[in-house]
């Protein structure tokens, strides 16, 4: 009888992970997931109190964690900080924002703010981490946090869609260029997730109903819904996956 194939490990022991926007919500949950899988996780955000608290909680649970208080929109400062650190093998490029408005009402300052964080800062943050990886000969996984809105359109989301479709594009190009270095690049694309940031929007019953109507599984996403997905993308379980999108949307984009 031939040997039974062995499932590649979802464990991340001995790997270093960096998560931006890790102060709360999705970022904090993904940092916890990577830490639980054995990675040493660095939480990164502007607000030091939040990431210090998060890292301390992870340590108290027996995991390896520290923090870097950085603003990803400070391109040079972020690159300098990453260059000074030991190289990371996992990068969760999560810092992002949204300012929903009708297309005809989007002001230039909103465009510059959203594109500045979701595209410009995300692009150069990935570049800084990748340069450090290549310089040290580290193979690994870049996970750009996109959205279902990087695959479809949505009312009042022309600007957000522009930013996430851009991320989908540069992620595919990154994957092609970085494959020879053993660096995989994928996007993780959630539907609407209930977090401290989004909770106020869902207090509008009509808006919540319109969202849930499009999610075929009939509920909003929770941060826990993304934790297994990020571990999968970071681990050897997804070793042949690059240039792809993992869409966690409850069926939104299936229609």
Place of tokens 């993304």: 226
pLDDT for res 22: 98
> What is d(CA 139, CA 197) in angstroms, rounded to the nearest whole number?
34
Tokens for 91, please give them: 């990068």
Q: Flag whether 5 is in a domain.
A: no
Total of domains in the chain? 1
Which residues participate in catalysis according to the annotation?
160
Q: Flag whether 191 is in a domain.
A: yes
Mean pLDDT, consecutive 10-residue segments, the chain of 255 residues?
Answer: 91 98 97 98 97 98 98 98 98 97 98 98 98 98 98 97 98 98 99 91 94 98 98 98 98 97
> What is d(CA 113, CA 115) in angstroms, rounded to the nearest whole number?
6
Give the single-character DSSP code of 253. G
Distance set, CA 45 to CA 14, 24, 51, 96 (Å): 23, 9, 7, 11
Q: Which of 248, 251, 254 is nearest to 228 (CA)?
A: 248
Q: Flag whether 141 is in a domain.
A: yes
b or e along 168-198 (b: 16 or more beta carbons within 10 Å of the residue's beta carbon)?
A: bebbbebbeebeeeebbbbbbbbbbbbbeeb
pLDDT for res 197: 80
Distance set, CA 170 to CA 188, 196, 232 (Å): 14, 29, 21
> What is d(CA 125, CA 175) in angstroms, rounded to the nearest whole number?
15
**231 near 33, Cβ under 8 Å?**
yes
Distance set, CA 210 to CA 3, 101, 156, 178, 199 (Å): 51, 16, 13, 40, 15
Q: Flag whether 9 is in a domain.
A: no
Q: Flag whether 54 is in a domain.
A: yes
> What is d(CA 41, CA 63) in angstroms, rounded to the nearest whole number?
9
Q: Flag whether 174 is in a domain.
A: yes
Place of tokens 């990803």: 72
Q: Flag whether 3 is in a domain.
A: no
- Find the CATH number of the domain harbouring 247: 3.40.50.720
Handedness of CA 39, 45, 47, 48 (dihedral sign): positive
> What is d(CA 219, CA 213) in angstroms, rounded to the nearest whole number?
9
Q: Flag whether 8 is in a domain.
A: no
> What is d(CA 122, CA 73) in angstroms, rounded to the nearest whole number?
8
Q: What range does the domain containing 131 cover? A: 16-254
């Amino acid at each position: 009888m031939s040997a039974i194939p062995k499932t590649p490990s979802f464990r991340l022991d001995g790997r270093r992970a960096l998560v931006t926007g890790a102060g709360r919500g999705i970022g904090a949950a993904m940092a916890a997931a990577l830490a639980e899988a054995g990675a040493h996780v660095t939480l990164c955000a502007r607000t030091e109190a939040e990431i210090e608290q998060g890292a301390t909680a992870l340590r108290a649970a027996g995991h390896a964690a520290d923090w870097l208080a950085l603003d990803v929109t400070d391109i040079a400062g972020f690159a300098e900080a990453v260059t000074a650190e030991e190289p990371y093998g996992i990068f969760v490029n999560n810092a992002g924002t949204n300012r929903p408005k009708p297309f005809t009402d989007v002001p230039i300052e909103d465009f510059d703010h959203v594109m500045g964080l979701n595209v410009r800062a995300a692009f150069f943050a990935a570049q800084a981490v990748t340069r450090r990886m290549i310089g040290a000969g580290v193979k690994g996984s870049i996970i750009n946090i996109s959205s279902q809105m990087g695959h479809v359109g949505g009312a009042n989301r022309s600007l957000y869609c522009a930013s996430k479709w851009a991320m989908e594009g540069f992620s595919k190009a990154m994957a092609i260029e970085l494959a020879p270095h053993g660096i995989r690049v994928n996007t993780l694309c959630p539907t609407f997730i209930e977090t401290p940031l989004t909770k106020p929007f869902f207090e509008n019953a009509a808006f919540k109903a319109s969202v849930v109507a499009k999610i075929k599984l009939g509920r909003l996403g929770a941060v826990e819904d993304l934790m297994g997905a990020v571990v999968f993308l970071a681990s050897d379980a997804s070793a042949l996956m690059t240039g792809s999108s993992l869409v966690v949307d409850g069926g939104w984009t299936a229609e």
